Chains A and B, each alone.
Chain A
Amino acid sequence: MNGLFSARRWSVTLADSAALWQGFFFTLQVSLAGLAVALVVGTIFGTFSTTRSRILRGIARVYVEIYQNTPVVVQVFFMYTAGPQVIKAITGAQTITRIAPFVLGVVGVGLYHAAYVAEVIRTGIEAIPRGQMEAAQSQGFSRVQAYRYIILPQTLRIILPPLANQALNLVKNTSVLALIAGGDLMYYLQGYILCCVMYFIICFPLAMLVSWLERRAKEPGGRAGGARGEKDAGGAGAAPGTTKGEVA
């Protein structure tokens, strides 16, 4: 703990805080772009694993298992080390181009959390009783329309809390980039403390959002899931318990 209260070290660190804030905004950008990747890819694989096609279900399963059971650190380092060489081998370029940290962060963290998002989406869709789809089809909805207008809106209220939780974990995991880029700002403990504060600024509102969404999802017949007397949807609201196992 030496020098924690040293005025000099605090003043040096605070004088450098512009660079820390720069990192703060970089983290914010990587997180937002990574979240977009995770949501898009995750939704695709999540819906894949609820379709009737064996092949699509298999693809989704393999993706989820591989990404959930290996560390994001290894995944990002793999892209960092092997990525440029693979690109070189494929395109036949003469020189090796390095992948920018921003891209590494967005793709690495995005694809990793996409696997978790996919599982959240899958449990959300499976929580909707089968009868809903049959009823929709009997009313002349196509499968795609039934998903769009009947299934997904109900799913939303179940999946929002775990999704927000994934967003929070995603922000934390962007720190994997520090292993690659190296933190030049970290002379003193003070730098770490400021860094903690900055992450906290991003993550604490997200954590509050998670608990608010959880509370709302528990209310029977809430506003999120459409208005038509969904006592069973309220009961299925207990289903997030099944996704709780996927806290990253």
Chain B
Amino acid sequence: MEIFTADNVTFMLQGLVNTIVIAAASIVLSILVGTVLALVKTYCTGKLRPLAWLVSAYIELFRCTPNLLWILIFRFTLKGSGVAISIAVFTTFTSAVMAEIVRGGLNAIPRGQFEAARSQGFGFFGMMWHIVLPQAFRHIVPALFSQCTTVIKDTSYLRGIDVHEFMRNSAVVMGQAVTLPQILLLYGFVFLTYFVLNFCISLAVRAYQRRLVAA
């Protein structure tokens, strides 16, 4: 029996579109949330200290528990479409990772930059927006991109809650595969698709790093 029929391929590619939508939306959102978390954790001192502790607790909680568990918890406590829940849960735990990445970037900024900004009359937010964050982000581009590949790969966990992403749709098609060559071909297709997607990102990172070294 033929596996790569037009119907099957479109079905799998629809899953791929969902995978990319979920990954892209949650990456963008979690960079935003993660940056805020990192700023709170790094710069909330004095009376605002408890806020920094709260953020630390958030980061450690999501760093130390598996994504699949949170996917299941969100699925059974929230109502909404599969894609919306997926974006919510991926944003929630990826934010914790992004916060740590951004914090690494913030720590790499020399103290003199802050003093210089202050001496030029920048307030805290102006200093962050114009001076500190742009430099911090330049430092962490490679880490951010490799987190993107991680998010794309981890969306395959969504198969556990039957969201129509690439892995799940491919698994449905897999149900038609009987012989070993069919199974191997189909898995080859799945591997190759994920590989091309992620490898392109890796190549982009490497090109960026080379440019950084050359500059």
Chain B residues within CB distance 8 Å of chain A: 60-61, 63-69, 72-73, 76-77, 97, 101, 104, 108, 142-143, 145-147, 149-150, 152-157, 159-160, 167, 171, 174, 180, 183-184, 187, 190-191, 194-195, 198-199, 202, 205
Whether B171 contacts A77 by the Cβ 8 Å rule is yes
Chain A residues in the interface with B (C-beta under 8 A): 1, 65-66, 68-74, 77-78, 81-82, 85-86, 89, 168, 172-176, 178-179, 186, 189, 192-193, 195-196, 199-200, 203-204, 206-207, 241, 244-248
Please determine whether B64 and A203 come into contact, CB atoms closer than 8 angstroms. yes
The answer to whether B187 and A82 have CB atoms under 8 Å apart is: yes
Q: How far is the CB of A10 from chain B (nearest CB, A)?
A: 16
For A168, give its contact among B64, B149, B152, B174 (CB under 8 Å). Answer: B64
Q: Give Cα distance in the complex from A81 to B184, angstroms.
A: 10
Contacts A69-B153, A81-B174 aside, 4 further interface pairs with beta carbons under 8 A come to: A1-B77, A73-B156, A82-B187, A172-B67
Contact A189 B153 (CB under 8 A): no
Closest to B68 in A: A175
Shortest C-beta distance, A183 to chain B (Å), equals: 8
Q: Are B64 and A204 in contact (CB under 8 A)?
A: yes
Please tell me if the beta carbons of A199 and B65 are within 8 angstroms of each other in the complex.
yes
Q: Indicate if the CB atoms of A73 and B66 lie closer than 8 Å.
A: no
Report the separation of the CA atoms of residues A83 and B77 in the bound assembly, to the nearest whole angstrom: 36
A243 to B10, CA, bound (A): 38
Write the chain A residue with the least CB distance to B78.
A1
Distance A78 CA – B147 CA, assembled complex (angstroms): 24
B65 touches A186 (CB 8 A): no
Which residues of chain B are within 8 angstroms of A65 by Cβ–Cβ distance? 195, 199, 202
The answer to whether B187 touches A74, judged by C-beta atoms less than 8 angstroms apart, is yes
Chain B residues whose C-beta falls within 8 Å of the C-beta of A78 in the assembled complex: 187, 191
* CB closest residue in chain A, given B59: A207
Which B residues are in CB contact (< 8 Å) with A200? Answer: 61, 64-65
Q: A69-B199, A172-B67 are in contact. Are A247 and B187 (CB under 8 A)?
A: no
Q: Which residues of B contact A73 (CB under 8 A)?
A: 153, 156-157, 159, 167
Contact in complex: B68, A168 (CB < 8 Å): no
Q: Are A245 and B142 in contact (CB under 8 A)?
A: yes
A192 touches B69 (CB 8 A): yes
A248–B199 Cα distance when bound, in Å, is 15
Evaluate contact between A69 and B180: CB separation under 8 angstroms. Answer: no
Closest-CB distance, A125 to chain B (whole angstroms): 19
Q: Which residue of A lies closest to B187 (CB)?
A: A78
For the complex of A and B, list the 10 residue pairs with the smallest distance between their C-beta atoms, beginning with the closest.
A203-B64, A175-B66, A69-B198, A71-B153, A73-B156, A71-B156, A172-B66, A245-B142, A175-B68, A245-B146
CB contacts (< 8 Å) of A69 on chain B: these are 149, 153, 194-195, 198-199, 202
Indicate if the CB atoms of B150 and A178 lie closer than 8 Å: no
Q: How far is the CA of A180 from the CA of B198 in the complex (A)?
A: 24
Give the distance to chain B from A122, nearest Cβ to Cβ, in Å: 14
A27 to chain B, nearest CB (A): 9
Q: Which of B77, B157, B183 has the most CB of A within 10 A?
A: B157
Contact of A186 among B64, B72, B205 (CB under 8 A): B72
Asked if residues A172 and B180 are in contact (CB atoms below 8 Å), the reply is no
Partner of A86 from B142, B156, B180 at Cβ < 8 Å: B180
| B174 pairs with A89, CB closer than 8 A | no
Contact assessment for B73 and A71 in the assembled complex, using a CB-CB cutoff below 8 Å: no
* CB <8 Å contact, A189 and B157: no
